[in-house]
Chains A and B, each alone.
Chain A
Amino acid sequence: MTDQIAIHTEKLTKHYGDVHALVDLDIDVRTGEIFGFLGPNGAGKTTTIRTILDEIRPTSGKASILGLDSHEDSVKIRQHIGYVPGDLAMYPNLTGRDTLTYFANLRGGVDWDYVDELTERLEADLSKKVGDLSSGNRQKVGLLQAFMNRPKVLIMDEPSSGLDPLMQRAFQKLMREVAAEGTTVFLSSHTLSEVQRVADRVGIIRHGKLIALEAVASLRSKAIRKVDLYFDGPVEASVFKPLPGVRDVAVENNHVRLSFDGQMETLLKVITERFHVLDISTEAADLEEIFLTYYRDEGVTV
């Protein structure tokens, strides 16, 4: 990953009549980064992707990919991108290989050895008509067409949809490999475990507005975690409730379970000054919890 910016949006706004699908969206995705783009249904993820790909035009603001304007230079941009749409649909009467040949022709050719290598890794069947493939196998053809031209930027909307767990792993490995080689990956997904596993940073969007933009590690460190404390004798819940960052305190004899967002050092200092702690365990918050926190209307902001 470098500090160069591969995808840039500036006050990107899209209105459909009274519906504000995107509002002043500012995102910078760095070159070689895997950027997870999260949000509940209807939050504006697909609208963002369609706007930066020039499928739809912004009401105001602008976007650029690789320093090129998303509208004015859209054809140049598309020489360097691979795209997997969320509602992936292809031509049912064409075989997988015909489909790839069609798009390869439109791109002026691709390295077929690389295509064959990818086909083998994803275990795709290119001999059958797309209409005869299962949704997972169809998705593989969609992934192949996105990766086959060794794009500088990959934009993918729910790319692992329909893939079995083993194939999801293979796909994630492929994503990490191309990112390591300098490809920027913009990944919109509801498969949070996948985003958590591969993404360097995530942006969370709700009601068309970006509400969080952080490195995954940083987001997790700031998030609420479950803490289990075991003492040498019974304790009262009232002792813990006033402590800063503590909530949802449950006490059972000498065992306390609480939720905590803040610096662990502060919490431990307060507790160890007053009690004798026998054991302590914490569960690091996963992205799903963070995601749910942000999605709730009363969710916290960072």
Chain B
Amino acid sequence: MLATVFTKTTRDRWKGMAIAVISLALLLLMAMSVYRDIDLSIYTELPEVFLSLMGIPDGADVASLAVGVLYGFYGALTLAGLAVSMGSASVAGEERDGTIGLLLGNPKSRTNVLVSKAASMLLLVGLGALALWGTAPLVAGILDVRMGGMQMGAYALHLFVNAIFYGFLAMAIGAWTGKRGLASGVTAGVMALGFVAVGIFPIIEGWENVAKAFPWNYFDNGQPVINGIQWGDLSVLLVASVVLAAIALVGVNRRDLRGQNVGVTLLDRLRANPMTQKVVDRLAGATRVSRIWIKTASEHQGLLIITAYLMFFVMGVLMGPLYGLMDKTLLSFADQIPKELYAFVGAGGGSMSTAEGFYEVETFGLMAPIAVMVVTVVIGAQALAGEEQDSTMGLLLANPIKRSRVLLEKAWAMVVYAIAVGFFTFAGVWLGSLIGGLGIGVGNIAATSFLATLVGLAFGALALALSAATGRVKVAVFGTVGVALVFHLVNSFASLNDTLAAWARWTPFNYYLNSHPLVNGMRWGDAAVLTGLTVVLVALSVVLFQRRDLRQTG
């Protein structure tokens, strides 16, 4: 292992982990104080199977509920997200930055470099998990809440192993392809699909075991927070991590390292072919560079295709027939679930006893806004800061165009793509409803998809504003994700606490599903608020971008 590479990677990354842990600690403080003030007896009468499915231990208390919500969802995603970021950047990131040649110009092997980066990931994720372990009793102590018999050490270990599995998956993909975006994108997709699958398949009769095909199943399926370390589950993730690490090592040693060389795509081959040259040249060449927004959109078409496919087919079309297959006995219990429980998924009080409620929870609760946000935040963050980071902004602005035009055209690309994701979500759910014979109103599906588009756009506009203000992609992405997580949590807990309910009005999520548009149709006031917020943030972006110096990188 190379001490210098290990130290540098750790030094570059520790701040992100520290910020994440501190944020999670503050959120845990908020969640625990909310649960402390409500009557928890409502949970004790729920069927055991439901408690199990929702990850609530028997005899749930304040601490276990808060930890379940915070660590089981936000904490696990955050820790895994940071591991993915480190894993995908390990070699592919150095290639993208053009520093891999310099790094390997030293008499050190690729294996050494990768091992050092992996060690840094293990250290930081390990420290993060340890910090989360220590935070829970600390927060409970501050609020005078009893921790009971919670096995926080076991839970922290599960959080750690779960996170490093995804980190190594991203590392393996990055090591074989040299593409950081692909590595983190595919891994995030696997994570998201697993999260949804583990929630759905166990309540479909005969399909319960399908959930075992998804890695997320092995994170806290065995409720380690109550039952202690689940060695069987951990073994699956650990063995898979070791295999992925080995695959990464083989991959990074076998292939050519990427320089700025961009390779040959299918479009390039079509452009070179005399038969197709004329048409493809027009589409891939002249049209692509005809306007700033079209060029911006073309740069993110891969992201759109993946996101639109996921929302159309997996979260839309498939969900209809799946709902029909679900265990009706279990669903009959759904009406008994206190609305507070839905805080877990941020569905704003929807109920799984109806098809609308099911789609609201599974498709629109988290996945739809996340899908739109992935597209809008990436475009918004890279719109300006990406060009500055790549040192192309100076050349672009040497042309006789205003900074505001650059910004607005890029914002327009973001709007077009958000609408596209919203449209494919609408089309998928509509088709799923038709196939499953669920009879959800097409107007209501359109309204909900439109609101999902608008809420995603609001966060995209926030990313754009941060990008315009700072010229830094990381600040724009992580800043927006952080704000979105806090807003989501505040809105999800609004029904549990009056103070939070007042605060929730200030979050965009309040204007998304709280009116149950899939049942009640469009509430235009909500759409107006979200649109207004987006417009204000874009206008603010223009002001911020025009006032500051362009960054010089490289």
Q: Which residues of A contact B (CB under 8 A)?
A: 46, 50, 53-57, 75-76, 78-79, 81-83, 85, 87-95, 97-99, 101-103, 105-108, 129, 131-132, 142, 145
Which of A89, A92, A98, A106 is B554 in contact with, Cβ under 8 Å? A89
Check if B289 sits within 8 Å of A101, measured CB to CB. Answer: yes
Contact present for A92 and B400 (CB under 8 Å)? no
Q: Smallest CB–CB gap between B158 and chain A, Å?
A: 41
Bound form: Cα–Cα A53–B394 in Å:
9
Specify which chain A residues have a CB less than 8 angstroms from the CB of B391 in the assembled complex.
Answer: 85, 87-89
A79 to B397, CA, bound (A): 11
B142 within 8 Å of A by Cβ? no
Q: Is A85 a contact partner of B394 (Cβ separation < 8 A)?
A: yes
* A46-B552 Cα distance, complex, nearest whole Å: 10
Most buried by B among A54, A87, A90, A102: A102
Is B275 interfacial (CB 8 A cutoff)? no
Partner of A98, one of B288, B394, B399: B288
Interface string of B397-422 (1 = CB under 8 A from A): 11111100000000000000000000
A92 touches B260 (CB 8 A): yes
Across the interface, which residues of A come within 8 angstroms of B393, CB to CB? 55
Do A55 and B402 have beta carbons less than 8 Å apart? no
Apart from A50-B394, A75-B400, A106-B400, what 13 extra A-B contacts exist at CB < 8 Å? A46-B552, A53-B398, A54-B397, A78-B399, A78-B401, A82-B398, A83-B394, A85-B395, A87-B552, A87-B554, A88-B395, A95-B285, A102-B295
Q: Report the separation of the CA atoms of residues A81 and B393 in the bound assembly, to the nearest whole angstrom.
A: 16
| Count of chain B residues near A, Cβ 8 A | 30
**Residues A129 and B262 in contact, CB atoms below 8 Å apart:** yes
Bound state CA distance, A75 and B406, in angstroms?
12
What would 11 A/B residue contacts be, using CB atoms closer than 8 Å?
Answer: A46-B552, A50-B550, A75-B402, A76-B400, A79-B400, A89-B391, A93-B262, A94-B288, A103-B399, A105-B291, A142-B395
Cα–Cα, bound, A273→B198 (Å):
104
B392 contacts chain A at the CB level, 8 A cutoff: yes
Q: A101-B289, A105-B290, A131-B260 are in contact. Are A90 and B399 (CB under 8 A)?
A: no
Cα distance, A54 to B288, chains bound together (Å): 28
> B residues within 8 A CB of A98?
285-286, 288-289
Question: Once bound together, how far apart are the Cα atoms of A106 and B286, in whole Å?
Answer: 13
Partner of A89, one of B286, B291, B390: B390
CB pair B395 A132 closer than 8 Å: no
Judge if B292 is at the interface, Cβ distance under 8 Å.
Answer: yes
Contact among A54, A56, A89 with B392 in the assembled complex (CB-CB below 8 Å): A89
What is the CA–CA distance of A72 and B520 in the complex, to the nearest angstrom? 52
| B335 interface residue per 8 A CB criterion | no
Specify which chain B residues have a CB less than 8 angstroms from the CB of A82 in the assembled complex: 398
Q: A95: which B residues are within 8 A, CB to CB?
A: 285
B window 256-280: CB within 8 A of A: 260-262, 268
Is B262's CB under 8 angstroms from A106's CB?
A: no
Q: Find chain A residues with CB under 8 A from B262 CB.
A: 92-93, 129, 131-132
Q: Is the CB of A106 within 8 A of B401?
A: yes
Say yes or no: B285 contacts A101, CB within 8 Å.
yes
Output the nearest chain B residue to A51 by Cβ-Cβ distance.
Answer: B549
**B288 / chain A contacts, CB cutoff of 8 Å:** 94, 98
Interface pair B395/A75, CB less than 8 Å apart: no
Question: Which A residues touch B550, using CB under 8 A?
Answer: 50, 55-56
Question: Shortest Cβ distance from A20 into chain B, in angstroms?
Answer: 15
Q: Please name the 7 residue pairs, one residue from A and one from B, whose CB atoms are nearest each other, closest first.
A: A102-B289, A56-B549, A131-B262, A89-B391, A83-B398, A106-B399, A78-B400
* B261 pairs with A131, CB closer than 8 A: yes
B205 sits at the interface (CB 8 A): no
Mark interface residues in B354-397 (1 if CB within 8 Å of A CB, else 0).
00000000000000000000000000000000000011111111
Q: Which residues from B are CB-within-8-Å of A55?
A: 393-394, 397, 549-550
C-alpha spacing A101/B392, complex, angstroms: 16
Closest approach, in angstroms, between the C-beta of A239 and any C-beta of chain B? Answer: 55
Question: What is the minimal beta-carbon distance from A134 to any residue of chain B, in angstroms?
Answer: 10
Most buried by A among B260, B299, B402: B260
CA distance A237 to B519 in the complex (A): 104
Given contacts A85-B395, A92-B262, A101-B286, contact A75 B401 (CB under 8 A): yes
Provide the residues of chain B in CB contact with A132, threshold 8 Å: 260-262
In the docked arrangement, what's the CA distance between A97 and B390, Å? 20
In-complex Cβ contact of A94 among B289, B290, B397, B402 (8 A): B289
- A107 near B400: Cβ-Cβ < 8 Å: yes
A157 to chain B, nearest CB (A): 10
Question: What are the residues of chain A within 8 A of B554 when measuring CB–CB?
Answer: 87, 89
Closest Cβ–Cβ distance, residue B463 to chain A (whole Å):
21
Q: B462-493: which have CB < 8 Å to A?
A: none
CB distance from B386 to the nearest CB of A (A): 11
Contact partner, A90, options B285, B295, B392, B401, Cβ 8 Å: B392
Which chain B positions have C-beta within 8 A of A103?
Answer: 395, 399
B402 CB contacts on chain A under 8 angstroms: 75
Q: Tell me which of A82, A94, A107 has the highest count of chain B C-beta atoms within 10 A of its own C-beta.
A: A94
- Which A residues touch B292, using CB under 8 A? 106
Taking a contact as CB atoms under 8 Å apart, the answer to whether A50 and B289 are in contact is no
Q: In the complex, A188→B162 CA distance in Å?
A: 54
B residues less than 8 Å from A75 (CB atoms): 400-402
**Chain B residues, Cβ within 8 Å of A76:** 400
A128 to B262, alpha carbons, bound, how many Å?
10
CB-CB nearest in chain B for A91: B392
Tell whether, in the assembled complex, residue B549 and residue A105 are in contact, meaning their CB atoms are under 8 Å apart: no
Interface centre among A75, A83, A106, A129 (most CB of B within 10 A): A106
Most buried by A among B397, B399, B550: B399
Task: Report yes or no: B398 in contact with A78, Cβ–Cβ below 8 A.
Answer: yes
A78 to chain B: which residues have CB within 8 Å?
397-401
Cα A288 to Cα B371 in complex, Å, equals 59
Q: How far is the CA of A106 from the CA of B260 in the complex (A)?
A: 25
* Least Cβ–Cβ distance between B91 and chain A, in angstroms: 19
Q: How far is the CA of A257 from the CA of B57 in the complex (A)?
A: 95
CB proximity of B86 to chain A, nearest CB, Å: 25
A57 touches B395 (CB 8 A): no
Q: Which residues of A contact B299 (CB under 8 A)?
A: 93
Known: A87-B554, A105-B291, A132-B262. A57 touches B549 (CB 8 A): yes
Q: How far is the CA of A194 from the CA of B123 in the complex (A)?
A: 53
B395 proximity list for chain A (CB < 8 A): 83, 85, 88-90, 103, 142, 145
Q: Are B400 and A97 in contact (CB under 8 A)?
A: no
The CA-CA distance from A29 to B400 in the complex, in Å, is 22
Q: Which residues of B contact A106 (CB under 8 A)?
A: 292, 396, 399-401
Closest to B271 in A: A95
Contacts of A89 in B (CB 8 A): 390-392, 395, 554
Residues of B within 8 A of A79 (CB): 400
Rounded to whole Å, the gap between the CB of B421 and the closest CB of chain A is 23
Binary A-proximity of B283-302 (CB < 8 A = 1, otherwise 0): 00110111110010001000
B398 contact set on A, CB distance < 8 A: 53, 78, 81-83, 85
CB distance from A59 to the nearest CB of B (A): 11
Q: How far is the CA of A99 from the CA of B396 in the complex (A)?
A: 11
**Shortest beta-carbon distance from A39 to chain B in Å:** 17
Cβ of A94: which chain B residues have Cβ within 8 Å of it? 288-289
Bound-state Cα–Cα, A103 to B400, Å: 10
A93 CA / B390 CA spacing, docked (Å): 13
